[in-house]
Amino acid sequence: MSAPLPRYQAVKNHIMDQIAAGQLSAGDRVPSENELTRTFEVSRMTANRALRELMGEGFIVRHAGLGTFVAEGRVRGEAIAVTSIAREVEARGETWSASVLAAGEMRASAKLAEAFKLDVGAPLFHVTIVHSGDGVPIELEDRAVNPEAVPEMLSQDFNHVTTTDYLLKAAPLLRADHSVKAVLPTVAEAKLLGISAQEPCLAIERKSWTGDRVASIARLLYPGHRYELKTRFENK
């Protein structure tokens, strides 16, 4: 059972829900701290914290003496989205397919135990999959999954559904950290991706959370000549 939601978070969620649902649009006035104090029966400090964090996250802007308003545009830049490789492949007009090289249980190494906040040796699910577009490999996925967060992980047929699609459903994504690097593949990796070992690859490491639990840690490797990451940033 999860802990009760902190009050400042409930206030944040309420305002964000209103923005997301279109009840509050860019430029609209957001309730003041004192109004939130009354509405939510919290202290002004709690309301201030909720609003301050939303401001830090780019959703709202605040002016002393004036008030608090929904920010223009979407201030929070679109981070690297967690999208399904199948979707990306199809968006290129290619047909996605997958080859599951490994799918089973493993024991958490010290590093993974630390990353998952589990004990060393704790059971994890592990999958290794090559994703292709029109039969040409485009992504080598190596992923460890927390069984506590996603108990039915290994029951899925990842030749037909991507891990990402399944995880997005089974373990609602709260947050993800990404690290992007340019690397050379190992000989084994190069072979699996059907490229030379001298081909630069984009390596994305992703750690995703569901609730307050690390759900999955993945390393995604893309041939440099086959993959490009695009993102957009917007400022208020």
Give the interface with DNA as residue ranges (CB under 7 A).
Answer: 6-9, 30, 32-35, 41-46, 48-49, 51-52, 55, 62-68
227 touches its own copies by CB under 8 A: yes
Measured from the CB atom, the residue of 80 and 106 that comes closer to its own copies is 80
Q: Position of tokens 């891990």?
A: 163
Q: Are the beta carbons of 185 and 206 closer than 8 angstroms?
A: no
Out of 154, 176, 194, 213, the residue judged to bind its own copies by CB under 8 A: 176
Question: φ, ψ for residue 165 (rounded to 5)?
Answer: -60, -45
13 touches its own copies by CB under 8 A: yes
Measured from the CB atom, the residue of 9 and 128 that comes closer to DNA is 9
Q: How far is the CB of 77 from its own copies (least distance, A)?
A: 3
Whole-angstrom distance, CA of residue 132 vs CA of residue 86: 9
Stretch that binds its own copies, among 12-20, 33-41, 93-101, 153-161 (CB under 8 A): 12-20
Residue 79 interaction partner, one of its own copies, DNA, none, beta carbon < 5-8 Å per kind: its own copies
Out of 134, 175, 186, 211, the residue judged to bind its own copies by CB under 8 A: 175
Site string for its own copies, 23-62 (x = CB under 8 A): ------------------------------x--xx-----
Helix/strand/coil for 209 = strand
Question: Dihedral sign, CA of 213, 43, 39, 19?
Answer: negative
CA 104, chain centre distance (Å) = 23
What DSSP string runs through 132-181? EETTEEEEEEEEEE-TTT-TTGGGS-TTTS-HHHHHHHHS---EEEEEEE
Out of 7, 14, 62, 178, the residue judged to bind its own copies by CB under 8 A: 178
Q: How far is the CB of 110 from DNA (least distance, A)?
A: 15
Out of 173, 194, 213, 219, the residue judged to bind its own copies by CB under 8 A: 173
Output the six-digit token pair for 136.
């040409």
Q: How far is the CB of 28 from its own copies (least distance, A)?
A: 17
Other CB atoms within 10 A of residue 71 CB: 22
Q: Are the beta carbons of 93 and 109 closer than 8 angstroms?
A: no
Question: φ, ψ for residue 48 (rounded to 5)?
Answer: -60, -40
Q: Return residues touching its own copies (CB under 8 A).
A: 13, 16, 20, 53, 56-57, 73, 75-82, 172-184, 198, 200-203, 222, 224, 227-236
